[in-house]
Structure 1
């Protein structure tokens, strides 16, 4: 599973192979838009089985919006450049930003033990919140088991029979953390790196304990509203997507063969602070550019966020923020996100001047890296 695109595990059981069903031809590239390589990479993804793509790039020359493929398999309607979509683990950068803001205000320390804020919640089968710090939650060095790797949860949430039965079921973060506690830790805290969605469920609960407010309220008040992110929502238990939006599609299976399901409507509380956010390409470009330019965090906290742990095939993982050096030497920062029927990517250069966000409205195939490389290194 790609660290950059499959973070919420919507595709945890789905093999990355091409869909055999035919797709509509994408619109031809505009020869003078300066993003010809990006357009070619988008078209190649659609030919290889991605249902549809919505993308926005912003640089010193302006904003470029593009789409490819279908937004609705039933009607044949195309995707729109203004689509809102489930952005999955991109939620993590928002959560980490709020915790770093709270640290800058002196309300907590990243070196606080988790047990200080969430007494006895992280206990069982070798887990011990007295040994795990908030920092280790944010950079995935806690060793805490990833609840979305639990086999029963995967059957209940990610495979067809379970999803269709439970798509509107509400999950609490405490219940999901409890699932993780039924397993042994992946390693002792601070000794290794492994991506765990449980870390960010706990981070959301720490925000709630420190502030007395749900983490989603703090994200809205501290980030969404100040930046004017009008297309960004924390849906909680609400199953619908705000418009405009395309449909979202999944195989809900371990392979890309078989039936394609419309998974647009779902209760995303199973992702919670690890991946429930709904947003748009425009909003996410604005968010990451503002973050990297220092509009959301003081320099000390932004530097901490950008202090990374080496990760194979990625570059580095900081505090809810990924770093990658591309083939042409350009370094980009951001995050990817996968959830049912949706794969998203949002990255920006360190100066925040060149940003890219795109979304696939299907989760069983796709080459996000090719699009990123094309935008920042292509001609």
Structure 2
């Protein structure tokens, strides 16, 4: 069966879903210090590296209309950290090279990791009915834990569904002008799930695949029910604190990014609105994380090097399934015989920010980053994102610039 891709109005998240999970050499190289003005940081681990093609690929985002980009690459040549564009419209300073940003769907990999840790401990069964853990929601008993993590449950996406015939069934305001006017509203996970369950399922459980935020908000509720602890507490205890990820946090109802950060914007009725302040509780468990390039690479490195999951569950997580090539919380992208497989989970909150998280299978080559732009109901420069990202990723993982004539996915 044809799998409906995520809606065109969420092009950035679609690529995030088809990019790859970033793992890096945990502790193998020291982090690069950001320059005082947030500009391009020097080649910290190997003086004299020629990264001109990588910097060119990064600058292409700015030339295409993105306001800013920050990148961190770790590979056999060391670490390279840089930024381009501006931190804020009307100012000259570049984005901070390790500033915090809204990561969007990157958190799905964290959620899947927590769930698989519980599977490893025998507290959850991958093929158990979710209804057995959350009996009060009235879920279809055919829906299993695996189906949530794999996007095969068929559950309606509470942020709205685009169907093959072009029709759109709205959910909560999560894009466009309607979102802008509601961007500070707080949501509870049960509220989001019940909205999804009030809509017809997209398909019967296990018969197809469709990217849906509902799956991961349900996963959060299941994790909290089984452990008796909040998701934020579990994330701190099981992942963030052990890995020293002090700059990462669950957004909750927080509306501001702490510390230096790049700003994003939304064009609305002739005005340009700063949307660096927003409430991501509308994507709880599915898109509500704040992080940095350094922390994301630390996490993905540890995950892919087997520090967070037993080998058999890591293999299960990274095994691609369906047309999306989505495992359990990560995408696996086959980039051809020269580049091989790359794992990723990129992300984007409703508007203005995009997060990149890529890794080679051994975790020794990683790419993490964030982009910002002036968004609009038509998504502005996002139309060029896939082509720009294809060039960037191939530069990092293939060693040569991408063939610009090759169509991107």
TM range (shorter): 0.7 to 0.9
**Distance in structure 1 (CA, Å) of the matches to 2:170 and 2:203:** 22
Please name the residue that 1:6 is paired with: 13
**Residues 32-69 of structure 1, C-alpha deviation per residue, up to 9 Å, x if partnerless?**
43433221111111111111001100112221101111
Match of 2:288?
276
Change (3 A) 1:343 1:252: farther
Q: Report Cα offsets for 1:354-378 as digits up to 9, x if no partner.
A: 1100111125313322211121124
SS in 2 for 1:6: helix
Hey, what's the Cα distance between the residues in 2 that align with 1:149 and 1:201?
15
Q: Residue 209 and residue 4 in structure 1: after superposition, are their counterparts in 2 closer, same or farther (change >3 A)?
A: farther
* Residues 1:4 and 1:310: Cα distance change in structure 2 (over 3 Å): farther
Structure 2: how far apart are the matches of 1:355 and 1:37? Answer: 17
Report the equivalent of 2:225.
Answer: 209
Q: Report the counterpart of residue 83 of structure 1 in structure 2.
A: 99
SS in 2 for 1:375: helix
| Residue number in structure 1 paired with 2:152 | 141
CA drift at 1:120: 3.9
Deviation at 1:329, TM superposition (A): 2.7
Work out the CA distance in 2 between the residues paired with 1:197 and 1:337.
12
Aligned to 1:323: 332
Residue 13 of structure 1: aligned partner: none
What is the CA–CA distance in structure 2 between the aligned matches of 1:89 and 1:288, rounded to whole Å? 14
CA distance in 1, matches of 2:132, 2:92: 53
CA distance in 2, matches of 1:263, 1:368: 23
Taking the aligned partners of 2:209 and 2:64, their CA distance within structure 1 comes to 32
Question: Partners in 2 of 1:8 and 1:47 — Cα distance?
Answer: 20
Mean Cα deviation higher: 133-142 or 325-334: 325-334
> What secondary structure is seen at the aligned counterpart in 1 of 2:250?
coil
Give yes or no for contact 1:29–1:36 (8 Å, CA) kept in 2.
no
Residue correspondence of structure 1 range 47-126 to structure 2 within 5 A: 47-121=63-137, 123=138
Q: What is the RMSD computed on CA atoms of the aligned residues?
A: 2.4
Aligned residue for 1:309?
321
Q: Secondary structure in 1 aligned to 2:123?
A: coil
Deviation string 1:181-234 (CA, Å, 9 cap, x unpaired) is 222111111111110000000000000000001112111110011000111111
Cα distance per residue 1:148-202 (max 9 Å; x no partner): 1165545x34223x33432221101111112212221111111111100000000
How far off is 1:98 after superposition? Answer: 0.4
Aligned position for 2:389: 368
Structure-1-length-normalised TM-score: 0.86
Describe the shift of the 1:75–1:61 C-alpha distance in structure 2 as closer, same or farther (beyond 3 A). same
CA contact (8 A) 2:296 2:368 kept: yes
In structure 1, the partner of 2:214 is 198
Q: Does 1:158 align with 2:158?
A: no
TM-score (ref. length: structure 2): 0.80
User: 1:330-372: CA deviations, max 9, x gaps?
Assistant: 3111201011211111011111101100111125313322211
Aligned partners of 1:55 and 1:357 also within 8 Å? yes
Identify which range, 168-177 or 199-208, moves more after superposition: 168-177
Question: Quick check: 1:170 aligned with 2:186?
Answer: yes
Q: Could you give the per-residue CA deviations for residues 43-97 of structure 1, whole angstroms, max 9, x where no partner exists?
A: 1111111110011001122211011111101323211111110110000000000
Find the residue that maps to 1:308 and give its secondary structure: coil
The answer on whether the counterparts of 2:40 and 2:81 sit within 8 Å (CA) in structure 1 is no
Counterparts of 1:216-295 in structure 2 under 5 Å?
216-251=232-267, 259-295=271-307
In the TM superposition, residue 259 of structure 1 has moved relative to its aligned partner by 4.4
Would the aligned equivalents of 2:360 and 2:397 in 1 still touch at CA under 8 Å?
Answer: no
